[in-house]
A and B are shown apart, each in its own frame.
Chain A
């Protein structure tokens, strides 16, 4: 138990579906992240929310939309995804100005 909880753990969706991934952290941290993990590739930083500031990776397609309503919750809204978006999506949190990320177990996404 890392203190970061992700739901759902597994998700299968069609290319026309709309779904959301949810992340909740119970550590009192003030920064939250979405990473994408594909086989044989580095963890790809998608989005960061820190002290209510969103830092966006410009290479992330607009079909991925993050939402951070407060410092404990983070969502990733998914819309008209492509099969190549199938991957493990990891949420993480950290306390500002420390070098340690705490990861959730991930949401395994399959796009058909």
Chain B
């Protein structure tokens, strides 16, 4: 089966930088995705790492190390609107299977 671990909750102040870690155990790993979900809303895609290294998209960056079965999402210049839950998800070799972690609730304070 698949197992993903991420912190349940993180708190940071506006303007700061926060890193949300994700470790995984899975067979047939193909890539790692990150999603954001505001209360009452649908998960929305943030980034995808198919190869080791850093992917940057504006204020958000995502990192993957396949050898460590580890990735993280880095959020810079935090804004109040970034308060949401963030999920990591592994994509398996069967390309259309995505398994999610339990999510990290990010609280951004003034």
Is this pair of chains taken from one and the same complex? yes
Binding site for B on A (CB under 8 A): 2, 4, 31, 33, 35, 40-43, 45, 48, 50, 55, 90, 94, 96-97, 99-106
Instruction: Pick the contact of B94: A2, A55, A106 (CB < 8 A).
Output: A55
Residue in B closest to A44 when the chains form the complex, CB atoms = B100
Instruction: Pick the contact of B98: A41, A45, A96, A106 (CB < 8 A).
Output: A45
Instruction: Pick the contact of B42: A31, A97, A103 (CB < 8 A).
Output: A103
Closest CB in chain A relative to B96 CB, distance in Å:
4
Instruction: Pick the contact of B96: A35, A96, A104 (CB < 8 A).
Output: A96
Residues of B within 8 A of A97 (CB): 95
Number of interface residues of B (CB under 8 A): 24
A45-B99 in contact (CB<8A): yes
Residue in B closest to A41 when the chains form the complex, CB atoms = B102
9 A–B contacts from the bound complex (CB under 8 Å): A40-B102, A42-B99, A45-B99, A50-B95, A100-B45, A100-B48, A101-B45, A101-B89, A102-B45
Closest CB in chain B relative to A90 CB, distance in Å:
7
Give Cα distance in the complex from A99 to B35, angstroms.
Answer: 11
Closest CB in chain A relative to B15 CB, distance in Å:
29
Give Cα distance in the complex from A18 to B72, angstroms.
Answer: 42
